[in-house]
Amino acid sequence: MRNILLAASISVLTFGLSGNAMADDDNCSMDLGMGVNLAPNSIELLDQDKPTVTMLNDQLLIDGTPLTLTASQQVVYSEYQQEIRDFVPQVVELAIDAVDLAMVAVQEVVTGLNIDSDGQRELEESIDKLRQALERYFHKDEQNYHLAAHEDGDFDRELEQGIEAVVEDSMQHGLSSVFSMLAEAFSGDEGTFEQRMEAFGERMEKMGQAIEDKVGTSSEAIEQRGVEVCEQAEQLHKLELRVHQEIPQLQDYKLVKI
């Protein structure tokens, strides 16, 4: 069960978030080279080694200094803003929804195995740490979104470690509950041994079905959204190349790296 939970959680959570997704049988691998603060009336591109780029509708500023754009530059600049506004919320909301969905599966394990209060507390601590790690990269506050840069696999490693901690805790305490239930099946006095073992098997099967019922369809939807985010990233990357040609001052600012 541990391997199933771990693989399922990691595949759902990383699909489209780290950029390692499969779309139309082509490997789509991407990094986010800059952070983004997205607000209703502004966009900030953040890089600790470069001046901040601020986008205010038809005005472009680098380190607070506005640039004068030609008509052709203004066209591609407007397209670039809109593409970022379409992309960033999709990535952030996908990340948040994927973690929420994975935690539903974990909660079903807790419920199905009657994990004790100490085990539940440890699980909650692991889940809180995972959420805190996620919020460092993806954050939503009403209509404001924050998307942090993540390159060189740092995000992938931090996310996978957080998921593994949650799964390990759930399995550690879950197995303890399983052994307790098995002990009851061996030593109980209700029905025959075969009947008690059959009842135990049915309970495990019901728990597995409950997890599938809760997350199965939603997991498929998450994966499809991951494909769509990957496709959006490719479109944004192509548009960025045009932006770099049209507006040379932005050549060193690469949001999507493929």
Torsion, CA 125, CA 127, CA 129, CA 131, rounded to 10: -140
Question: Residue 215's pLDDT is what?
Answer: 72
* Spatial separation of the C-alpha atoms in residues 28 and 25, rounded to whole Å: 9
pLDDT digits (tens, 9 = 90+) for 109-134: 666 666 667 777 777 777 777 777 77
User: Splitting the chain (258 residues) into consecutive groups of 10 residues, what average pLDDT does each group show?
Assistant: 40 42 50 91 93 94 96 96 95 84 73 69 76 82 87 63 69 55 57 64 69 74 85 93 96 90
Length of the chain: 258
Strand ranges (E), 21-97: 21-23, 26-28, 31-32, 35-39, 42-46, 53-56, 59-62, 65-67
Which long-range CB contacts under 8 A does 55-64 form with residues at least 24 apart? 55/81, 55/84, 57/81, 60/247, 62/249
**Residue ranges covered by each domain of the chain:** 2-257
* Spatial separation of the C-alpha atoms in residues 129 and 5, rounded to whole Å: 18
Which residues, in sequence order, are CB contacts of 176 under 8 Å at separation 6+? 115, 119
DSSP label of 192: -
- 64 Ramachandran zone, left/alpha/beta (phi>0; psi -120 to 50): left
Pair of tokens at residue 52: 């901040």
* Spatial separation of the C-alpha atoms in residues 143 and 145, rounded to whole Å: 7
Alpha helix stretches (DSSP H) within 114-192: 117-137, 154-187
* Spatial separation of the C-alpha atoms in residues 214 and 206, rounded to whole Å: 12
